Amino acid sequence: MRRNHGTLNGQLARVISELGHTDRLVVTDAGLPVPPGVERVDLAVRENLPRFLDLLDAVLAEVAVEGVLMSQEIKQHSPEMLAEIEARFTGVEIRFVPHTEFKRSTGEARAAVRSGEFTPYANVLLTAGVVY
């Protein structure tokens, strides 16, 4: 058993360990389609389990992030969720694009980590940074 209390899910722990500088990882709500060829780490159990923010926090505890891409539609449809996400990325640029472009961009991700979140547009595409 792991000594530290990091990610317990074996597939997610492996994906995080394999990330290199500028690799991309998408953390998704329950409905975002995962493009063919992108590894799916499906943690969704039922509606809102796990919550997107809990999953994002678990990922951020282990991944250095230098860039964030989001759908601009979150501004109108889920402003409370957007505020919570933005609070987690002080000092990191968040770029917004139309949702159709966001979905295309996920095709470049090493993996997609799916939550059970039912809040519209609760998705982020993270660009991994370095810790040195």
CA distance 105 to 88: 21
Closest CA to 71 of 126, 122, 128: 122
Closest CA to 92 of 65, 70, 72: 65
Closest CA to 27 of 110, 93, 98: 110
Catalytic residue among 9, 17, 21, 75: 21
21 is catalytic: yes
CA distance 50 to 78: 18
Sign of the torsion angle spanned by Cα atoms 102, 51, 89, 24: negative
> Would you say 99 is a known binding-site residue?
yes
- Residues annotated within the binding site are 29, 99, 121-123
- Residues annotated within the binding site for substrate are 29, 99, 121-123
State the catalytic residues.
21
